[in-house]
Amino acid sequence: MTSSLPAAVLWDMDGTLVDTEVYWMSAETALVESFGGTWTHEQALTLVGKGLESSGAILQGAGVRMSVPEIVQHLTDQVMRQLAERGNPLRPGAAELLAELRAAGVRTALVTMSLRPMAELVVSRLAPDSFEVIISGDDATRPKPYPDPYLQACASLGVAPADTVAIEDSPTGVTAAVAAGIPTIGVPLMVSLVGTGATIWPTLEGRTVHDIAGIHAGSTTHLDGDRS
């Protein structure tokens, strides 16, 4: 089975590796309300997986009278503060699968639209050498849903996109990975991934390198996974 393993697994961060979406949503709500506006849960869901600059422009439309770079930095600072206080809110099974992949010799990259300081903070609290490469929002030539971040990660690792597997939680992220030519696992958190082209896993809990090998080999019959 190990011969069927991909050369690398590329992980999204927010909502996939760590459940930080609630941190982002609370920071967005507080910011909009500080300018006298309202920010609903439904509005917050529209930002899941988006690049931070796009999100900043949407928040300006909700009444935030700050420049986009100021909004991005403010939100990042607030989420990093929550991470510093509460630690990494890892999604079930994520740390175990990541450790098993590394033990099996599968290379890994983190592909996130969060800024590098936040990505590095999250990674610093994981096991050493969890990720070889980080492609952050300030590294990407174009943000998700463009394929650029995933293509940049593949180039940094020196691997072909088709010889990797991506793990994502948002339609925006799945779109980016699929557009890069990468077989993609969708592990939904806040929003549905039905119809996105990902193989849907309800959770990473209990998943192993053998399941990843099944995705890489094009299998759609492994452990309760549905192609959607």
Hey, where are the domains in the chain? 2-19+89-227, 21-86
Residues whose CB is less than 8 angstroms from the CB of residue 164 and which lie 6 or more positions away in sequence, other chains included: 6, 7, 8, 9, 10, 154, 157, 182, 183
- If 0-12 CB within 10 Å is exposed, 13-18 middle and 19+ buried, where does residue 26 land? middle
Q: CATH for 21-86?
A: 1.10.150.240
Q: CA of 51: how far to CAs of 3, 46, 73, 176, 223, in Å? A: 36, 11, 13, 11, 32
| Domain 2-19+89-227 and domain 21-86 have a common topology | no
For residue 18, list its beta bridge partners.
Answer: 14, 90
Q: pLDDT tens, position by position, for the chain (228 residues)?
A: 445 899 999 999 999 999 999 999 999 999 999 999 999 999 999 998 888 999 999 999 999 999 999 999 999 999 999 999 999 999 999 999 999 999 999 999 999 999 999 999 999 999 999 999 999 999 999 999 999 999 999 999 999 999 999 999 999 999 999 999 999 999 999 999 999 999 999 999 999 999 999 999 884 334 444 444
In this prediction the pTM is 0.89
CATH class assigned to 2-19+89-227 = alpha beta
For residue 166, list its beta bridge partners.
Answer: 10, 184
Cα–Cα–Cα angle for 193, 155, 2, nearest 5°? 70
